[in-house]
Structure 1
């Protein structure tokens, strides 16, 4: 019995690259947050920005998974 190979649509790798970019931006914001003095506006701004980038990444990866599952059916 041979394995079934499913080809990934070209948009999957593009969206995956965008999600990777979101993750890199979140990491950059986390590093800035860690360098800022806790309790300051700068610290809060970078923490909030990192959270938003992480949420965007997570949402995009979930949507990619949904679209991939839909294309297999």
Structure 2
């Protein structure tokens, strides 16, 4: 049983690292968006990209919480 728990903890830790990476990528896109002139294609592209990274991060963090709750049971 501890092997499964340890493996799950390892997976959760890996997912946390990936979610942190997604957050960093979103932050980069937000910075690029803020430097672009509003209303341009470049501005829109970076805004859209930042939104997608934030959505991916959020989705992954919800899944992480579910895994942590399952692990506690």
Number of residues of Structure 1 aligned to a counterpart in Structure 2:
67
Give the TM-score normalised by the residue count of structure 2. Answer: 0.86
Bigger Rg over Cα: 1
List structure 1 segments (4+ residues) > 2 angstroms apart after TM superposition.
none
In structure 1, list runs of 5 or more residues that go unmatched.
Answer: 1-6
- CA RMSD after TM alignment: 1.3
- TM-score, normalisation: structure 1: 0.86
- For structure 2, the 5+ residue unaligned runs are 1-5
Structure with the largest fraction of helix: 2
